[in-house]
């Protein structure tokens, strides 16, 4: 059941978040929303995971989004770029509303080495990986020989993003 007060609380916080986000200077980063393929991929995944076609996403900062259904936050989306060896790759994480990872997917991978991280079966290892210790988090995801740099870059990035999200939600 959605309480009326919850809706009000969320709308107010959303407005404030958006204002603050707008006040922030934007950093040059990959704009996935302008890339049709990436946009389709992200939305298809959100739609499947939350079994919804009526959800909305709202940007709170450059790469951070809330996923809402009937004005209630049902999850979070982070779209992020990281370096492999010398080029950036783009990926996204979908969380439920308690910051548990539901999906990780690579949107664009540009280097010839390290592409192994695009493998969806390998990426599944991040799902539900809720560990707060970086060591434990990392140990739940297998290494890939020949893709060490990309693997570590992705692990570190996802852990960092997840920790930040958790910290915010705990406030």
Partner 1 sequence: MTRTTIRKSLIMGLLLSMITVSQSQNTAEKIIGSNQGLHIGGYGQVDYNRVINDELNHNATLDVHRLVTFIGYNFNDKTSFISEIELEHVKEIYVEQAFLSYSIQNNISVNAGLMLIPMGIQNLYHEPPTFNGVERTNVDKYIVPTTWREMGVSVNGRIFDNEVNYELMIVNGFNGYDGDGVFSGSSGLRNGRQKGAKSYMTSPDFASRFAYVGIPSLNLGLSTYFGESESTAYNGLDLSDENAVASADSTIIGINMIGIDGRYQKGALQLRGQYIVADLSNTNQYNISTEKDLGSKMMGYYTEAGYNLLESMQTSNELIPFVRFENYNTHQETVGDVEVAPNYNRTDITIGLGFKVSNGAMFKADYQIKSNEGADEKTYQLNLGTAIWF
From 47-55, 67-75, 78-86, 92-100, give the range in contact with partner 1 by CB under 8 A. Answer: 78-86
19 sits in which H/E element: helix 4-23
Task: Dihedral sign for Cα 116, 117, 118, 119, please.
Answer: positive
Residue 61 contacts partner 1 per CB under 8 A: yes
Of 2, 7, 24, 40, the one binding partner 1 (CB under 8 A) is 24
Report yes or no: 82 and 95 within 8 Å, Cβ to Cβ.
no
Q: CA 49, CA 104: separation in Å to the nearest integer? A: 12
Nearer to partner 1 (CB atom), residue 42 or residue 53: 42
Report yes or no: 132 and 169 within 8 Å, Cβ to Cβ.
no
Could you tell me the CA-to-CA distances from 29 to 63, 66, 67, 145, 162 in Å, in that order?
A: 9, 19, 21, 29, 19
From 44-52, 67-75, 96-104, 140-148, give the range in contact with partner 1 by CB under 8 A. Answer: 140-148
> Which residues of the shown chain bind partner 1 in the complex (CB under 8 A)?
8-9, 12-13, 16-17, 19-21, 23-24, 27-30, 37, 60-64, 80-81, 83, 85-88, 106, 108-110, 112-113, 115-116, 118-122, 125, 135, 138-139, 142-146, 148-149, 152, 161, 164, 167-168, 171
């Amino acid at each position: 059941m959605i309480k009326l007060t919850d809706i009000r609380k969320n709308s107010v916080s959303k407005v404030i978040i958006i204002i603050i986000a707008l006040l922030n200077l934007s950093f040059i980063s990959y704009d996935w929303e302008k890339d049709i393929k990436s946009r389709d991929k992200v939305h298809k995944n959100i739609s499947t995971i939350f079994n919804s076609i009526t959800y909305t996403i709202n940007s709170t900062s450059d790469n951070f989004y809330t996923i809402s259904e009937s004005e209630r936050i049902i999850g979070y989306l982070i779209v992020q770029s990281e370096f492999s060896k010398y080029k950036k790759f783009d990926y996204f994480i979908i969380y439920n509303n308690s910051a548990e990872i539901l999906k990780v997917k690579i949107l664009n991978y540009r280097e010839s080495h390290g592409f192994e991280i695009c493998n969806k079966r390998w990426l599944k290892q991040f799902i539900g990986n809720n560990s707060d210790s970086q060591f434990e988090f990392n140990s739940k995801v297998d290494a890939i020989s020949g893709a060490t740099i990309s693997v570590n870059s992705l692990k570190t990035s996802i852990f960092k993003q997840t920790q930040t999200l958790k910290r915010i939600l705990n406030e």
